[in-house]
Structure 1
Amino acid sequence: MSNTLQARIAGPEDFPRLIAMVRDFYVEDEILYQSGLVEPGLRSLLENASHGAVLLLSSEDVTEAGYITLGWCFSVEQGGRFVLLDELYLTPAVRGRGWGRQALALARDWAAGEGAAVIRLEVNHHNARAKRLYLAAGYRDDERDILTLPLTSAGRGLHP
């Protein structure tokens, strides 16, 4: 059994397998799944490289280990364009192999290769295990809260 995680950039043809994992992730991480927001957002990311990328994760013996969504953002404080590691999901069957650290390294390598100087991410307060992983990988807690103002009726249900 291989212990090395691999990634490839997903394309529009990967939407059906990705959206199934996205749904699983949202249930597990207690994120409200709104198909009218999530599905067009994912399709846009898969179809337009200027928005970022989705990395499909696998190994020699596991074809669907998970995924990472990476999106471009802009911040004066961060020096311009930076990457938001929007979602990182490993299927339950592959957890405990050290692949979370490997997935973060793959995201870092993609972002650095695309010219980003910074990666930022969000972690839900209830997900202490994920936060420990991110801190161990060198991410820092900026001791800030993320606040959201939905500007459309579709976006008003972002958080339960």
Structure 2
Amino acid sequence: MSDELKCRVADAQDFPRIIGMVRDFYAEDRITYQPALVEPGLRTVLEDARCGAVLLLSSEAVADAGYVTLGWCFSVEQGGRFVLLDELYLAPAARGRGWGRQALALARDWAAGQGAAVIRLEVNHHNARAKSLYLSAGYRDDARDILTLPLVDAVGELHS
């Protein structure tokens, strides 16, 4: 049995299997799950390749090993379009096999194949294990904080 992680670009039909993993990821990483924001966002990236892609991870040993969500962004400082590695989740049965590093390599290969020169990501302060993985895979800590200004509330209504 191969211990190699594989991926394919998910599509709209994969929504039910991915959203279950998204809920698990959010619960584990202490992210508030806001269905009115998360579910349309996931559907958009699954249906519109201009927004990015979701890589569905699997192996012979674990069918639903996890997922990686990649989104297109723009930054003058980064030279234009770049990829945001928005979410990386490995199911409990997929952990401890070196697949986190493999998932990062698959994401890198997808982004490079799409013409991106840079991948950026964010990691929660409490997740030292994930940060250690990212740093060991060549990501650098730019010593910056990410600040967020919500323009819509949890049900998608604009703030006034």
TM-score, scaled relative to structure 1: 0.95
**Residues 36 and 155 in structure 2, CA contact (< 8 A), matched pair in contact too:** no
- Confirm whether residue 140 of structure 1 aligns to residue 143 of structure 2: no
**Alignment RMSD (CA, Å):** 1.1
Q: Secondary structure at the match of 2:88?
A: strand
**Residues 59 and 65 in structure 2, CA contact (< 8 A), matched pair in contact too:** yes
Structure 1 distance, partners of 2:140, 2:155, is 28
Matched-pair identity in %: 78
CA-CA distance at 1:93 after TM superposition: 1.0
Greater helix share, structure number: 1
CA-CA distance at 1:18 after TM superposition: 0.3
Query: Runs of 4 or more off by more than 4 Å in structure 1?
Result: none
Structure 2 distance, partners of 1:66, 1:111, is 18
Written as runs of structure 1 = structure 2, the 5 A alignment for 1:1-160 is: 1-154=1-154
Q: Secondary structure at the match of 2:24?
A: helix
**Residues 62 and 93 in structure 2, CA contact (< 8 A), matched pair in contact too:** no
Structure 2 distance, partners of 1:90, 1:81, is 27
- Give the letter aligned to residue 124 of structure 2: N
Structure 2 distance, partners of 1:155, 1:6, is 35
Query: What number of residue pairs does the alignment pair up?
Result: 156
Structure 1 distance, partners of 2:152, 2:70, is 23
CA-CA distance at 1:61 after TM superposition: 2.5
Structure 1 distance, partners of 2:132, 2:103, is 15
For residues 109-128 of structure 1, the C-alpha deviation after alignment (integer angstroms, 9 at most, x for no partner) is: 00000000000000000000
For residues 51-110 of structure 1, the C-alpha deviation after alignment (integer angstroms, 9 at most, x for no partner) is: 000000001222100000000000000000000000000001110100000000000000
Name structure 2 gaps, 5 residues minimum: none
